[in-house]
Amino acid sequence: MTRTVEDGALIFDAIAGPDPTDPATSTVPPDDYPSRLNSGVRGLRIGVVPGYFFFHLQADVKRAVEQALTTFEDLGAQ
């Protein structure tokens, strides 16, 4: 966990890359995550598996996640 989204992007940028034990990742170049911070979310696809994701979730946490998903949709994410 990080204190800011910017810190999270920097950490993700540092650890991203191919996994030598996973051939499927060998040809996928790592993304430049910090450069995407100001790009917005329009057009991004967010995947949530409702039956699995919300299993045993506290009601207030579920509401917060649903509200966040609605906010992302309002900002143009799919």
Residue range(s) defining the domain that contains residue 57: 41-78
Q: Verify that 35 and 50 share a domain, yes or no.
A: no
Model confidence at 76, pLDDT cuts 50, 70, 90, reads: very high
Cβ-contact 42, 73 below 8 angstroms: no
Q: Are residues 33 and 45 in the same domain?
A: no
Q: How many CB atoms lie within 10 A of CB 58?
A: 8
Q: Are residues 2 and 35 in the same domain?
A: yes
Evaluate if pTM is beyond 0.85.
Answer: no
Question: What is the number of domains present in the chain?
Answer: 2
Q: Residue 51: its pLDDT value, please?
A: 78
CB-based contacts of 1, cutoff 8 Å, min separation 6: none
Q: 45 and 31 in one domain?
A: no
Band of residue 70 on the pLDDT scale cut at 50, 70, 90: very high
